């Protein structure tokens, strides 16, 4: 791995991403739209199904016992929050994986097409890696949310290690944590900007996520390859 990168690398990454997403706006925006809509619908279905199941379970078990009802209600709510955190991170990871395939294409000098985002192999390791990160995020949720930020920070390159270097899920997670630790300033700065961009995208009726997601993922891919000293197509 390369020596720690100065914070200028974050600015370069986002500048590069802005140019590449603009140059390939059609494929990136279409992929982001389809992936985020699909993820949002799946999350909604999970929320409705689990919420209904929890309500029925509480009704069946508690009966007329008000104290039991309260306990089960709290437990059910906590379980629902945990499940939604895990599924949310899992779906976000899968959206990231879709866009990462396109981002790798542009950093390698290839123009992305619709097929680029959905083909390329390593589907199994990608799913396992996304599930691993989601499970850690769920555990962080149980520990009052703050550890989730550590997961987001240190696991941010996991899918890139899987897709770009061929590592398995566990080794990819370890390598991501190591890379972040060696370049903590640049990686933390990148993560803050990424979270702010996605937050703004959500606030703009969710539509902005379609614009923010490709920008963040291409910038992340640029930063990743630069930190590893790998070539990036101008």
Residue 75 per-residue DSSP state: H
User: Would you state the pLDDT for residue 1?
Assistant: 47
Position 1 in a domain: no
User: Would you state the pLDDT for residue 165?
Assistant: 94
Residues of the chain with pLDDT under 50: 1-7
Q: Which domain holds residue 119?
A: 8-227
Say which residues have a Cβ less than 8 Å from residue 115's Cβ, sequence separation at least 6: none
CA distances from 160 to 129, 175, 197, 201 (A): 10, 10, 20, 23
User: Would you state the pLDDT for residue 181?
Assistant: 96
Domain count within the chain:
1
User: Would you state the pLDDT for residue 15?
Assistant: 94
Position 3 in a domain: no
For 44-81, the pLDDT digits (tens) are 898 888 777 766 666 666 555 556 555 555 666 666 77
Position 44 in a domain: yes
Say which residues have a Cβ less than 8 Å from residue 105's Cβ, sequence separation at least 6: 111, 112, 116
């Amino acid at each position: 791995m390369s020596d720690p990168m100065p914070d200028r690398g974050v600015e370069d990454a986002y500048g590069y991403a802005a140019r590449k997403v603009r140059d390939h706006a059609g494929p990136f925006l279409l992929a982001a739209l389809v992936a985020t809509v699909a993820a949002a619908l799946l999350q909604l279905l999970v929320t409705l199904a689990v919420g209904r199941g929890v309500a029925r379970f509480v009704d069946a078990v508690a009966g007329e016992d008000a104290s039991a009802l309260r306990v089960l209600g709290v437990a059910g709510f906590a379980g629902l929050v945990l499940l939604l955190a895990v599924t949310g991170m899992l779906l976000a990871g899968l959206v990231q994986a879709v866009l990462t395939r396109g981002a790798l294409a542009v950093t390698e000098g290839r123009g992305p097409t619709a097929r680029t985002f959905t083909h390329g192999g390593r589907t199994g390791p990608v799913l396992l890696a996304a599930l691993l990160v989601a499970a850690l995020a769920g555990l962080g949720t149980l520990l009052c949310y703050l550890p989730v930020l550590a997961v987001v920070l240190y696991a941010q390159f996991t899918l890139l290690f899987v897709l770009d270097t061929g590592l398995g899920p566990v080794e990819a997670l370890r390598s991501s944590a190591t890379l972040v630790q060696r370049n903590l300033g640049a990686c933390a700065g990148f993560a803050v900007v990424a979270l702010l961009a996605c937050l703004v995208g959500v606030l703009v009726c969710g539509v902005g996520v379609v614009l923010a997601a490709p920008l963040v993922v291409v910038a992340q891919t640029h930063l990743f390859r630069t930190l590893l000293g790998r070539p990036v197509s101008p």
